[in-house]
Amino acid sequence: MLEFSRKTFLSPQFAIKAASAPWEFAGATALRLQVFCEEQEIFEGHDRDAIDHKALPLVAVSTLAGEADEVVGTVRIHEESPGTWWGSRLAVAKTHRRVGRLGAELIRLAVSSANGFGCDRFFAHVQEQNVRFFERLHWVSLEPVDIHGKRHMKMEANLAAYPAFKDPSAGWTMQLRGR
């Protein structure tokens, strides 16, 4: 008999979408706590701030037997001023960081959704170790900045690389290759 272990099994399919169910919001919050408070020790206790009250949280949800299982990635977007959008708190569960394109797909949904909402410019403060990743995704570096004791780069997305997507609640499904 085959033994099943959730720790070794990684789903080959993920839903990339706006959080809508209470468990998705809770999963995004828990993942941010795990990554930014426990793992990176940037915040103590929690990482919530005033932006959370106006932000749209996006999630990557793994599936198990075709059903939504758990939040394994998240990012939030918000409009700072008319046409100017920001993405922040991008996090992927440690167990899923080497899984295909989860971070890239969350970024694509974030920028494409903002573009669909009338975005003129989209920015993010990106941790220094992730700058090259964002550059490969059509972002440009603007200026270095220190945030919460960590070196970041203010970056801007090339909106031409992110076609407008007007329904982030529908999102899309991402299938891993070779599984």
Q: Where do the structural domains in the chain lie, given as residue ranges?
A: 13-166
Residue 41 has pLDDT above 90, yes or no: no
Determine the average pLDDT of the residues in 130-136. 97
First to last CA, the chain: 21
Whether pTM > 0.85 for this model: the answer is yes
Tokens of 84: 């100017």
Token pair recorded at residue 164: 């407008």
Q: Does the pLDDT of residue 178 top 90, yes or no?
A: no
Residue of higher predicted confidence among 97 and 49? 49
pLDDT confidence band for 133 (50 / 70 / 90): very high
Q: In what order do the strands lie in the sheet with 121-127?
A: 139-147, 150-157, 121-127, 84-92, 67-81, 56-64, 13-18, 172-175
pLDDT in tens, 138-165: 999 999 999 998 999 999 999 999 999 9
Cβ atoms 62, 69 nearer than 8 A: yes
pLDDT band for position 65 (cuts 50, 70, 90): confident
> Rounded to an integer, what distance in angstroms lies between the CA atom of residue 26 and that of residue 114?
23
Does 179 score more than 70 pLDDT?
no
Residue 90 vs residue 179, higher pLDDT: 90
What is residue 39's predicted lDDT score, i.e. its pLDDT?
Answer: 92
Residue 81, strand partner residues: 84
pLDDT of 11 strictly over 90: no
Q: Mapping DSSP to helix (H, G, I), strand (E, B) and coil, where does residue 63 land? A: strand
pLDDT at residue 1, rounded to an integer: 40
Q: Model confidence at 9, in pLDDT bands (50, 70, 90)?
A: low
Architecture of domain 13-166: 3-Layer(aba) Sandwich (3.40)
Tens of pLDDT, residue by residue over 71-129, are 999 999 999 999 999 999 999 999 888 776 899 999 999 999 999 999 999 999 999 99
